[in-house]
A = this chain, B = another copy of it.
Amino acid sequence: MNKPFVVVGGDAAGLSAASKARREDPEREVIVYERGEWISYAHCGMPYYIKGEVDSIGDLLSLSPEAVRERGIDLRRNHEVVSVDPDRQIVGVRGPDGESEQAYGDLLVATGARARTASIDGTERDGVFTLHHMSAAAAIRALLAPPGEADASAFDGSYVDVDVSEYLARTPPETVAIVGGGYVGIEMAEAFREWGLETHLYQRSSLPVPPFGEAVGDRVVEVLRDRGVHVHLETTVETLDGTDRVRRVETADGSLPVDLVLVGIGIRPNVEVLSGTGVELGTSGAVAIDKYGRTNLENVYAAGDCAEKEHVVTGDPEWVPLGLTANRAGRAIGQSVADDPEPVGKIAGTAVLKAFELECGRTGIVGEDRARAAGFDPVSETITAGSRSGYYPGNAETTVTLVGDRETGRLLGGTVTGEDRAAIRINQLATALENEMTVTGFERLDLAYAPPFSPVWDPTLVAAKVLGGQLESTGD
C-alpha cells in the first residue's frame, strides 16, 4: 500500500491535486494541511466583494470543508507544515494540539505566496491593509458599507478571524491611498470610487500594470483619471505615518492625509517550509520544477504560486503566479501521483484586468526589452481598430500591441485593450503562442466576423497585418 499523498496548502493547486488524486486512486490516503481557517477561496473576487458587486463573503468560497471531506480527502485546517525531511519522507506539522510528524509517499508543496510590504515603513499600523486574506476583505467592506448594507455573513466567526463589528463601528474613511498600480491597486481603485472615496493611487514606475506594457498602461491611467482617481506616477511611497493608526502617506514629493491605505506592491512565494531540504529554487525565488511538477527532491512536487513553470515563448522557467495554471498544475500532479503521469502544462503569462469599463489582456512577451533579454530580435507595433463594424452601435476603439521576432517571424506576445470584448480576445493570441505561430501565420487565421461582434478584420488581425509588413520590410 502506498504511503499517503500529503498536500501542504488548501487552495487552488493543493485541493485540485488532492481531488484528482482521490478520483484516480480512491484507495489512497490523501491528507491536506492548511495552516489557516480558509480553503479554496477566490482571491481575485475580493475587490468585487469590497466594491459591493458580490453580496456575501461566502460567495467567494468555491469549496466548503465539507465538500472537500466528501471527496474522501483528510482536510486538516489550522495545521501548519513547518518542516520537510526528504530523506525520511516525513513532514513536521504544528496544529492546535501541538507538533507531530506525518510520513508521505508523495508530497505536494502548494503554499502559495504572500503580500510584499517590506520596502515601506509603517505597514504595521492600523488602517493599513494588504489584500491577500479574506479577513482584510471583510474588514475593508465593513469600513465602507453604510450600516444598513453590511454583509451580515461576515460577522459569523467561521468566515473571518477579525472582529468585523469593530470595523463597522468606526467612522467610514473619506480619503484612501493605494500603494502600487498592479492588478490589486487598479481593481481596488474601482471599488473605493464606487463608495465615493477620494482615492489616490501611487505607482513607483511611469505607468501602472507594467506587465501589460505602455499602450495598455496609458489607457488605464486615462480611465482612472476620468473616473476621478488621483494617479501619482513615478512616486515612491516611503512611509505610512501616524500613531497606532495610519494618518499620512509620505513620499519624496510631500505628504497626504489619509484614513486608510491599501498596499498592493506584489507578492512573493512561500518557500520557507522547504528551507534546509536542498530544494532547488529558480532565479525568481520560487521552487524549480520539471514538466511534471517535480522538484529535485524525490517524490516532492510543487505547484501554484510558490512554483515556477516553463514559459511557452522563452522555454525558460518563469514565475507567473495566476489562478488557472495553479489549478491545472494541481490537477496534473494529482493524476501523476496516481501513476498516470500528466504534464503540468506551460504558461504564457496570460492575464486579464478590468479597470472600470476598460478591459485589458496580455499574453507572452510584452515589451521589446523583455524580448531582447530572452534572446529575441523584437519588433513591435501598436494599432487601434474597431471592435465591431464601424456602422454597428457599440463599436469601441480596441488597441492591440503585438511583438514579433525579426529573425524567425515568430509571434512573441501581445496585449489587447478596449471596452468591448477586448479582454477575451487575448485568448486567440495565447492559443497562437502555444503553437509557436508566426505573425504571418496568425494573419491568415479564419476568425469570426459579424457586425455585432467584430469588423471583417478582427483588431488582432489588423495588428498582425501591420506587424507582418514591418517584419518583412526589416528582415532579410
Q: Which residues of A contact B (CB under 8 A)?
A: 12, 42, 44-45, 48, 53-54, 59-60, 62, 312, 322-325, 327-328, 343, 345-354, 359, 361, 363, 389-393, 421, 423-428, 430-432, 434-435, 437, 441-442, 444-454, 456-458, 461
Contacts and interface: CB of A to CB of B under 8 A. Distances in A.
Given A312-B446, A325-B446, A434-B445, 13 more contacts: A44-B450, A45-B389, A53-B393, A323-B449, A346-B444, A350-B446, A350-B447, A421-B424, A424-B448, A424-B454, A426-B448, A431-B447, A434-B437
Contacts of A427: 425, 427-428, 445, 447-448, 458
A154 B407 CA distance: 52
Contacts of A446: 312, 324-325, 345-350, 363, 430, 434
Nearest to A427: B428
A130 B430 CA distance: 41
Contacts of A353: 450
A62 B94 CA distance: 70
A54 B444 CA distance: 30
Contacts of A391: 42, 45, 48, 54, 59-60
A322 to B, nearest CB: 7
A-B pairs, top 10 by smallest CB distance, nearest first, are A435-B435, A345-B444, A59-B391, A431-B431, A348-B446, A427-B428, A352-B448, A352-B450, A324-B449, A354-B452
Nearest to A364: B446
Given A42-B389, A445-B431, A458-B427, A450 B354 contact: yes
Contacts of A461: 324
A448 B432 contact: no
Nearest to A460: B427
A437 B456 CA distance: 25
A172 to B, nearest CB: 24
Contact of A354 (B59, B327, B453): B453
Contacts of A347: 446
A138 to B, nearest CB: 15
Contacts of A444: 328, 343, 345-346, 434
A457 B425 CA distance: 16
6 contacts: A324-B456, A324-B457, A424-B424, A427-B458, A430-B448, A435-B435
A467 to B, nearest CB: 16
Contact of A324 (B44, B442, B447): B447
A451 B45 contact: yes
A352 B448 CA distance: 6
For A312, A452, A457, the residue with the greatest tally of chain B CB atoms inside 10 Å of its CB is A452
Contact of A430 (B392, B426, B447): B447
Contacts of A323: 449, 456
A447 to B, nearest CB: 5
A59 B454 CA distance: 16
A136 B343 CA distance: 57
A354 B48 CA distance: 30
Nearest to A426: B448
Contacts of A350: 446-448
B343 A451 contact: no
A48 B390 CA distance: 12
Nearest to A432: B431
